[in-house]
A = this chain, B = another copy of it.
Amino acid sequence: MGKTAEIEFTWPKGFYSDGLHSGLRKKRLDLGWFFSEVPASAAGVYTTNKFCAAPTALTKKTIALKQQLQGIVVNSAIANSCTGAQGQQDALTEQLLMAKKLEVKPELIGVASTGVIGETLPMEKIKNGINKLQKTQNAKITEAILTTDTHPKTISIQFEQAGKLCTMSGFCKGSGMIHPKMATMLGFVVTDAKVSGSMLQEMLSNEVETTFNQITVDGDTSTNDMVVTLANGQALGQQIPELIKDTEDYQVFKEVYHQVLSQLAQEIARDGEGATKLVEANVLGAKTKVDAQQVAKAIVGSSLVKTAVFGGDANWGRIIAAIGITAADINVDTVDIYFDDIPVVTQSLGTAFSEEKVAEALSKDKVTITVDLHNGDKKGQAWGCDLTYKYVQINASYRS
């Protein structure tokens, strides 16, 4: 990667934001917005759950119009999902309120909601809240979108395009109901680089396959998932061409984009409901990339692997069982498994290992499971978390 540097979270040039407590939650921030001072190229990926929530459907439709967007209003606490015609109307009202306040066309405003399914938004509170939102550059929105998350998940990277310093910043939320099929929960990435909407969409659709689509917390896919990216070109300062495919700038942008999405996705897995550890599965030697990713995701998705990691138990039989039930092309005699770099299975047979060293590997904040299928040369990764008492506690009483 070229000259890039991760920095403290900051808004790229020409982006503004704010967040506040509107009364949807008891105390915590619950409403926010962010927007570009000019229309930005926009791309999005959305839940494949058939019960797509009203705000998600509206944002999808809006971005599809011209692959442009200027801003997004987001609330937590209530998902505005399974709310019928009322829910659709409420999402449209939010879009109109923000458009009116910013004096831009409603077709340039997206809407996102997250929280409990089946409740309608208290529109008076939303209306008052939007009225109070300011044009600032604070990071309050990264808090306002959280639900059971324990902390905001953000990243900012600086890089160059056309010789100018650009910034790409992303933030997301997500902790439960995480098993994305196209995208997960809410993820937002903004940049002042200049990229066409169609190129941005192509890159996003590709990159989510190896990032957001490769995490899982509990195997459940939300109705409100979306990852949206806005690129406003404001770093460049003058009329220069948009990013051109396969140039050096393109490569840099692509790698920065991948890093942003990958890091945000891992942050979600690490902060999975009740989690104490991030679990990374690295799969090597697969016949196809799809096989590798599928096997990696099966490992981090297994309840039995997740509880074994929580208990610090080197129960590799559960990893074998998870691998064996995927549709991937497997040679059942050639599988190696490692915890960190300690081999526990060689050629599909258990191998003697130091229980002490493996226990140490399993007690780390990040547990790394590597599987070499010895069946090809393709690789894949996935991220999940351990399954703990606290996961049960959180979810036995979420709504009530």
Contact = CB atoms under 8 A, between A and B. Distances in A.
A325 B50 contact: yes
Given A50-B330, A388-B392, A118 B316 contact: yes
B313 A82 contact: no
Given A303-B220, A314-B399, A119 B308 contact: no
Interface string A379-400: 0000000011101111111111
Contact of A219 (B79, B83, B84, B302): B302
Nearest to A327: B50
A84 B396 contact: no
Contacts of A38: none
A156 to B, nearest CB: 32
A116 interface: yes
A223 B79 contact: no
A118 B308 contact: no
Taken together, the copies of this chain in the complex come to 2
A24 interface: no
Interface string A196-231: 000000000000000000000011111100000000
A81 interface: yes
Given A50-B330, A218-B303, A392-B387, A398 B313 contact: yes
A64 interface: no
A303 B396 CA distance: 10
A283 to B, nearest CB: 15
A84 B345 CA distance: 12
A307 B223 contact: no
A318 interface: yes
B223 A324 contact: yes
Nearest to A303: B218
Interface of A is mostly: loop
Interface residues of A, number: 64
A314 B312 CA distance: 34
B220 A321 contact: yes
A66 B395 CA distance: 51
Nearest to A219: B303
B392 A307 contact: yes
Contacts of A222: 321
A221 B325 contact: yes
A122 B388 CA distance: 34
A219 to B, nearest CB: 6
Given A83-B349, A220-B302, A223-B324, A311 B50 contact: no
Contacts of A241: none
Given A50-B325, A321-B51, A398-B315, A118 B303 contact: no
Contact of A51 (B181, B332, B400): B332
18 contacts: A49-B321, A50-B325, A51-B324, A82-B317, A82-B320, A82-B350, A117-B320, A117-B321, A118-B350, A220-B304, A220-B321, A223-B321, A307-B392, A308-B395, A308-B396, A308-B399, A312-B400, A387-B395
